[in-house]
Amino acid sequence: MELLIQPDGTVRAIYDETIPLAALGSVDIQRASHVEPTTDGRWTADLSPVGGPKLGPFAHRSEALDAEQQWLLRHWLTLSV
C-alpha cells in the first residue's frame, strides 16, 4: 500500500485493508472514481471525483479496475496534485 503524506499532514492512499488507516488519525474516506457497466455490457472508470478522465470502455470489470488504479497511481497519488 502506498501512502502519500502531504506537507499539511493529509495522507492520500488507494484504499486497501493492508494498513488500518484509523491508526494514523481521523479518517475521511472519499470515492476517487466510479467503475460502472455501460449499456452494452462493457465497463468504464470515471475519475471525475478527483478531476480525472473517464477511461474505457473495457471488456472486463477487472480491466477497468486496473486502469483506475494505474491512473490514480500516476496522476493522483503524487506530490504535484
β-bridge mates for residue 39, sequence order: none
Tell me what pLDDT residue 80 has: 66
Q: What is the 3-state secondary structure (H, E, C) of the chain?
A: CCEEECCCCCEEECCCCCCCHHHHCCCCCCCCCEEEECCCCCEEEECHHHCCCEEEEECCHHHHHHHHHHHHHHHHCCCCC
**How many structural domains does the chain have?**
1
**Is the CB of residue 45 less than 8 Å from the CB of residue 67?**
yes
**pLDDT given for residue 50 in this prediction:** 93
* Entry pTM: 0.82
Residues in the chain: 81
Reading the chain (81 residues) residue by residue, the pLDDT tens digits are 888 888 888 888 888 888 888 887 888 888 899 999 999 999 999 999 999 999 999 999 999 999 999 999 999 998 765
What range defines the domain where residue 67 resides? 3-76
Assigned domain for 81 exists: no
